[in-house]
Amino acid sequence: KAGVTQTPRYLIKTRGQQVTLSCSPISGHRSVSWYQQTPGQGLQFLFEYFSETQRNKGNFPGRFSGRQFSNSRSEMNVSTLELGDSALYLCASGRGSHEQYFGPGTRLTVT
Amino acid sequence: EDQVTQSPEALRLQEGESSSLNCSYTVSGLRGLFWYRQDPGKGPEFLFTLYSAGEEKEKERLKATLTKKESFLHITAPKPEDSATYLCAVQAGGGGSNYKLTFGKGTLLTVNP
Q: What does the pLDDT profile of chain A (111 residues) look like in tens digits?
A: 689 999 999 999 999 999 999 999 999 999 999 999 999 999 999 999 999 999 889 999 999 999 999 999 999 999 999 999 999 999 999 986 678 999 999 999 999
Question: Are A98 and B103 inside 8 Å of each other by CB?
Answer: no
Shortest Cα distance from B77 to chain A (angstroms)?
27
**Which segments of chain B have a pLDDT < 50?**
none
Bridge partner list, A98: none
As to burial, measured by CB atoms within 10 angstroms (0-12 exposed, 13-18 middle, 19+ buried), residue B64 is buried
* Chain B residues within 8 A of A48 when measuring between CB atoms: 99-100
Per-residue model confidence (pLDDT) at position B1 = 84
Per-residue model confidence (pLDDT) at position B24 = 98
Shortest Cα distance from B91 to chain A (angstroms)?
8
A82 C-beta neighbours (distance < 10 Å), count: 12
Closest CA relative to residue A56, chosen from B32, B28, B97, B3:
B97
- Residue A21's Cβ-side half-sphere holds a number of Cα atoms within 13 Å equal to 31
A interface with B, Cβ–Cβ below 8 Å: 4, 31, 33, 35, 42-45, 48, 50, 55-56, 58, 90, 92, 94, 96-105, 107
